[in-house]
């Protein structure tokens, strides 16, 4: 199938700059810059690895053009000449690692999409209208910008472009999408001015064109300048594709921009999933917007984004003429070598992005630095990108064939160890097989399949239907034992009636071990509980949900759902799919489990009493259900290890076998241990 890829491999041209292919890594939050906006060694290593992997263009994350336009605590600064040497270290390292690669800086002002706590200033915007967040609204009312201040910001964009060019960046990109300042001027949703920068379409577009003109004057005619715009705001009152087609035409007519990068969505509950699409969104779901903008311009190259992770899919977009370049940002987080593997016709070796959001969005939106579930090297390139052989080749036994066990076996074998993997069932995948069962979560299976294809290539011996016991491990006599046997759902014994036949857990439900009736109650507050609830609802069952969370807010009962580290996906599934399918019972908890139902009672509405119920019967209700599915805590599977300590020279526990957490943590454990042994 690799022979089908042709256009994606072809060089591209932006102004006078020639790219080695049509694969682009767009700007994305990494939170790797220092608090003062300077470039860190972590950031250099991260972007250098993407350059070494063969991408045509690699754009760094959002850089702020002035302190008041800052959107986060760990973003690169293009606001001060003093940061030019810092940025030069990044571009020099990138070009040394990738002489044919191109690295760009994205220039942005957050406008109202920031806080006083972040910048030290009151936010500024076209009009004094508060900005939106996926969880609601920003509390800071922005100051309406004067015309004088608008002109100052235009100059700040131009100066930021100058600094970027002097620092060695091959191009700059102006960010006018996603509800940041320039996008705020474009949209009547956020721009209610009645001067030359508001009112008519021409007036609202004016600042964008003036920024492009000022930037072009600073960097010269031959330096590549791009702009990112939305193709649709996906919000009532915002711009639609038809509006943005007019914007694109105005941009092309001004002759100051060399390409248009098309995205979608605002920082709102309705639009955020277009900006950073979870697994539930279909691949290539924004292609129509790229095609729409491309049809509106004559000669300007178009970049398109939107869950483009498969090179064959990207090739199809180019073949259909929907865009000229494909943005594959998260695919390059998952596998920086994707472009090289495409050029070498090694498509099956590309580690797939599964859009789980655990390492990228969930972390970066919490002001943590970026990593990746399927590629724990991301963010750790300085220490992990280069594998070193061990001082002595060892006989390594990995017990447990889930993702963490397979990854530990793979890395250990790549380093030169003799590795055997035991899996008690007849197939590899572990709990990830169950994670792939709920609706729109099938891509967990892509990662399982990738790991399975890699194990024989690196020499791992796999034994299926091989349960582990302390005696079997003693007889095998490994030098190193890596325990990756996961955890099992435990039904809390304090629940009155916990041992009744109608009580089960999420794992047994998804696997089919538990047969459910028509009325099912789930008790749990993490993403997997929501996904199981939706999975059951899709079978036309009546599904009830009790959170059991330690913290609930009376003003927002739904906040008690999706409280785990994968909260972005959980909340998105809840808002978009599951909310209308299940009956959520806020501020309720099990009082007892009976033969044909449960007694539920009112809880406290504030921590620490949110899981305690009333002693009296005033608020008791009987809920008739056929099954009670409890998913509140997990226990590591370690019984098989009894007596091995002191017998096996080196024992390591990883993933849920060490401590029940998320798959992201389990993969990080696997990466660490397999590099230490």
Strands 143-144, 124-125: pairing is: parallel
pLDDT score at 570: 57
In the predicted model, is pLDDT for residue 556 greater than 70?
Answer: no
* Residue 407 backbone dihedrals phi, psi, to 5 degrees: -65, -40
pLDDT score at 525: 82
In the predicted model, is pLDDT for residue 551 greater than 70?
Answer: no
Instruction: Based on the fold, state whether residues 552 and 656 are members of the same structural domain.
Output: no
User: Number of structural domains, the chain?
Assistant: 3
Cross-strand pairs, 653: 483
Question: From residue 49, how far is each of 305, 338, 491 by CA, in Å?
Answer: 21, 11, 45
- Spell out the residues 6+ positions from residue 544 whose beta carbon is closer than 8 angstroms to its own: 519, 520, 521, 522, 582, 583, 584, 585, 623, 625
Instruction: Based on the fold, state whether residues 222 and 350 are members of the same structural domain.
Output: yes
Instruction: Based on the fold, state whether residues 379 and 396 are members of the same structural domain.
Output: no
Final residue before a domain boundary, out of 340, 361, 383: 383
Assess contact for 355 and 377: CB atoms under 8 A.
no
Instruction: Based on the fold, state whether residues 403 and 375 are members of the same structural domain.
Output: no
Q: Which candidate, 62, 155, 68, places its Cα nearest to that of 111?
A: 68
For 259, other C-beta atoms within 10 Å of its C-beta total 24
Binned at pLDDT 50, 70 and 90, residue 411 comes out as very high
Report helix angle 147-166 to 84-97, nearest 10.
Answer: 40
In the predicted model, is pLDDT for residue 135 greater than 90?
Answer: no
Instruction: Based on the fold, state whether residues 97 and 239 are members of the same structural domain.
Output: yes
Q: For all residues of the chain together, what is the average pLDDT? A: 92
Residue 520: alpha-carbon gap to chain centroid: 31
The residue-averaged pLDDT of 356-371 equals: 91
Instruction: Based on the fold, state whether residues 450 and 591 are members of the same structural domain.
Output: no
pLDDT score at 215: 98
Rounded Cα distance between 523 and 531, Å, is: 13
CB neighbour class for 158 (10 Å; exposed up to 12, middle 13-18, buried from 19):
buried
Assess contact for 39 and 87: CB atoms under 8 A.
yes
Final residue before a domain boundary, out of 383, 414, 439: 383
CATH number of 189's domain? 3.20.20.70
Rounded Cα distance between 351 and 395, Å, is: 27
pLDDT score at 2: 44
Cross-strand pairs, 624: 597
Q: Which residue has the higher pLDDT, 147 or 366?
A: 147
CA dihedral 48, 54, 57, 59 (to 10 degrees): -30
pLDDT tens-place string over residues 511-529: 999 999 999 999 988 888 8
pLDDT score at 619: 80
Q: Is the pTM of this model over 0.85?
A: yes
- Domain housing 114: 2-383
Summarize the chain as % helix, strand, coil (round to 5). Answer: 35, 20, 45
- Spell out the residues 6+ positions from residue 337 whose beta carbon is closer than 8 angstroms to its own: 53, 54, 350
Instruction: Based on the fold, state whether residues 578 and 623 are members of the same structural domain.
Output: yes
Binned at pLDDT 50, 70 and 90, residue 503 comes out as very high
Q: Which candidate, 120, 125, 226, places its Cα nearest to that of 170?
A: 226
In the predicted model, is pLDDT for residue 327 greater than 90?
Answer: yes
């Amino acid at each position: 199938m690799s022979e089908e890829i042709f256009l994606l491999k072809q060089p591209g041209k932006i102004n006078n700059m020639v790219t080695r292919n049509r694969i682009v890594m767009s700007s994305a939050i990494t939170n790797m810059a220092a608090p003062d906006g300077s470039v860190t060694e972590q950031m250099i290593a991260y972007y250098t690895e993407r350059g070494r992997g063969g991408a045509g263009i690699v754009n760094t994350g959002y850089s702020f053009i002035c302190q008041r336009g800052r959107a986060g605590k760990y973003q690169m600064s293009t606001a001060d000449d003093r940061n030019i040497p810092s940025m030069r270290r990044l571009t020099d390292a990138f070009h040394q690692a990738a002489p044919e690669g191109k690295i760009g800086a994205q220039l942005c002002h957050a406008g109202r999409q920031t806080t006083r706590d972040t910048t030290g200033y009151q936010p500024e915007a076209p009009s004094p209208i508060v900005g939106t967040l996926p969880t609601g609204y920003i509390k800071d009312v922005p100051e309406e910008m004067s015309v004088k201040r608008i002109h100052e910001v235009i100059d700040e964009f131009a100066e930021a472009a100058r600094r970027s060019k002097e620092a060695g960046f091959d191009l700059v990109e102006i960010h006018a999408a996603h509800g940041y300042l320039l996008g705020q001027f474009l949209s009547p949703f956020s721009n209610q001015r009645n001067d030359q920068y508001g009112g008519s379409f021409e007036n609202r577009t004016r600042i964008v064109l003036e920024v492009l003109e000022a930037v072009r004057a600073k960097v010269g005619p031959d330096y590549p300048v791009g702009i990112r715009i939305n193709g649709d705001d996906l919000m009532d009152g915002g711009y639609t594709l038809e509006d943005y087609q007019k914007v694109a035409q105005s941009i092309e007519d001004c002759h100051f921009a060399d390409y248009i990068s098309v995205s979608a969505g605002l920082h709102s509950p309705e639009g955020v999933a277009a900006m950073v699409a979870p697994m539930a969104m279909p691949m290539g779901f924004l292609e129509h917007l790229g095609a729409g903008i491309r049809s509106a311009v004559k000669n300007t190259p178009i970049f398109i984004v939107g869950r483009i992770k498969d090179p064959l899919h990207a090739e199809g977009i180019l073949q259909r003429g929907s865009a000229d370049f494909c943005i594959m940002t998260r695919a390059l987080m998952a596998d920086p070598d994707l472009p090289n593997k495409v050029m070498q016709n090694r498509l099956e070796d590309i580690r797939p992005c599964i859009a789980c959001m655990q390492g990228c969005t969930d972390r970066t939106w919490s002001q943590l630095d970026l990593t990746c579930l399927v590629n724990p090297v991301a963010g750790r390139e300085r220490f992990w990108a280069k594998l070193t052989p061990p001082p002595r080749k060892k006989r390594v036994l990995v017990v447990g064939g889930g993702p963490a066990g397979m990854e530990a076996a793979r890395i250990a074998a790549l380093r030169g160890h003799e590795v055997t993997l035991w899996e008690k069932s007849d197939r590899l995948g572990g709990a990830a097989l169950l994670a792939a069962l709920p609706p729109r979560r099938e891509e967990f299976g892509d990662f399982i399949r990738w790991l399975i294809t890699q194990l024989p290539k690196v020499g791992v011996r796999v034994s299926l239907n091989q349960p582990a016991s302390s005696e079997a491990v003693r007889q095998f006599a490994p030098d190193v034992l890596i325990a990756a046997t996961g955890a099992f759902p435990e039904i809390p014994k304090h629940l009155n009636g916990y041992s009744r036949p109608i009580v089960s857990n999420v794992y047994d439900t998804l696997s089919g071990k538990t047969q459910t009736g028509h009325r099912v109650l789930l008790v749990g507050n993490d993403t997997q509980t929501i996904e199981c609830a939706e999975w059951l609802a899709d079978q036309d069952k009546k599904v009830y949900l009790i959170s059991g969370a330690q913290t609930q807010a009376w003003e927002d009962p739904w906040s008690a759902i999706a409280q785990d580290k994968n909260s972005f996906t959980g909340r998105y599934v809840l808002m978009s799919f599951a909310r209308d399918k299940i009956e959520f019972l806020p501020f309720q908890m099990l009082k007892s489990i009976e033969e044909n139902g449960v007694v539920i009672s009112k809880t406290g509405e504030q921590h620490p009493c949110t899981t305690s119920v009333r002693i009296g019967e005033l608020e008791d209700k009987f809920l008739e259900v056929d099954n009670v599915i409890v998913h509140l805590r997990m226990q590591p599977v370690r019984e098989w290890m009894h007596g091995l300590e002191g017998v096996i020279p080196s024992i390591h526990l990883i993933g849920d076998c060490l401590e029940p957490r998320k798959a992201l943590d389990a993969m990080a454990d696997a990466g660490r241990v397999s590099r230490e042994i």
